[in-house]
Amino acid sequence: MHDSPRVVVLAGGVGGSKFTLGARGALRDRGIDDTARVLTVVVNTGDDLWLSGVRLQPDVDSITYALAGVNDTQRGWGRAGDTERVNHELREWGAGWPWFTLGDLDLGTHLARTGWLREGLTPTQVVERMSRRWPLGARLLPMTDAEVDTIVTVRDGGGIRSLHFQEWWTRHRATLEPVDFENPGISSAAPAPGAVEAIADADVVLIAPSNPVVSIGPILSVPGVRDALRSTSAPVVGVSPIIGGRVVRGMADVCLTAIGVETSAAAVAGHYGARADGGLLDAWLIAEEDSDLAADVERSGIRPVVRPLWMTDAAASTALAAAALDAVHG
Ligand code: GDP
Ligand code: CA
């Protein structure tokens, strides 16, 4: 154990950012002021895309904006108080994707990122640079520096076709039946520098209640990440994104169905698996609504912890993260 616990969070966008805010809050409540020194967030980059010549990293941006307190909490994505003048102009040109809105402030982020990438910075270096603008209280790492955008294969009108995750998710609202999710090139990708080291050096690793298939799934598919989670001496604690058999928001149920996992807190725990049994988890937080599933989780070799899982505000997220931090030692 370090003097202040080293914490690593694996996270996607919206669920991931609420939970990361909670983790930062829980560490502050323990008297740790310099949380950036102890809190590392490994962020999904499977959602990333090129659009109108700029590189978007939706999950990285969601977490950055949320930690900086400049996110649009009403809409659930992008910057608070953003406008869409450039987006309107792109539409007039017939450029980009008409169903994918880019805010003006958000475009500033994408331009800055793309410029730095073009100058030769790695994605990890760009994220580090972007983390200097606001006191985020966490070190953010993309899961990898490789471009491994998620491609979804769907059934469409009797045929099968593949499309970028963002087109499937945003344009089609996940209504085309998915049969497969892939991250082309991921088998030869490497974890971002520092990610495996952070997991090895952690006192606790937390898997945020993010989409298990398209947010946590890609992170776990980066070669080396799964082994790092299996071999760290830190306990690995996950939080269920499923409450009472339902996804809280979003369309994670469609993704789970596609990979043959039931939309239940116990089934997602089984999908991650018990560390004792070749999987990843030591403990799994489930909602009070799902307390009857605790025995199932326990039987699969994972310690069930029943807690309120609704991240309705910062205090609730902080209480949830605190419970996750204490799930094994507490
Ligand atoms: P995305 O990248 O923006 O889709 O966000 P994430 O993958 O990080 O998180 C999406 C998941 O968060 C959804 O599948 C929800 O099930 C889960 N989620 C959202 N809000 C809550 C909450 O308040 N509590 C819990 N336990 N899960 C939540
Ligand atoms: Ca995402």
Vertex 315, ends 311 and 321: CA angle to 5°? Answer: 65
Q: Which atom of ligand 1 is nearest to the CA of 239?
A: 26
Supply the angle between the helices 14-29 and 314-325 in degrees, to the nearest 10: 70
Separation of CA 43 and ligand 2 centre (Å): 9
Residue count of the chain, please give it.
330
d(CA 288, CA 305): 9
DSSP per-residue letters across 168-196 = IIIISTT-SEEEEEE-TTGGG--BPTTHH
Measured from CB, residues less than 6 Å from any atom of ligand 1 are 11-16, 59, 62, 209-211, 215, 239-241, 243, 247-250, 252, 309-311
pTM equals: 0.97
Separation of CA 313 and ligand 2 centre (Å): 20
Separation of CA 235 and ligand 2 centre (Å): 25
Secondary element (H or E) of residue 1: none
The helix/strand/coil state of 125 is helix
Q: What are residue 39's DSSP bridge partners?
A: 7
pLDDT tens-place values along the chain, 330 residues long: 788 899 999 999 999 999 999 999 999 999 999 999 999 999 999 999 999 999 999 999 999 999 999 999 998 899 999 999 999 999 999 999 999 999 999 999 999 999 999 999 999 999 999 999 999 999 999 999 999 999 999 999 889 999 999 999 999 999 999 999 999 999 999 999 999 999 999 999 999 999 999 999 999 999 999 999 999 999 999 999 999 999 988 889 999 999 999 999 999 999 999 999 999 999 999 999 999 999 999 999 999 999 999 999 999 999 999 999 999 875
Closest CA to 208 of 52, 108, 66: 66
Domains of the chain: 7-47+187-329 (3.40.50.10680)
d(CA 97, CA 87): 10
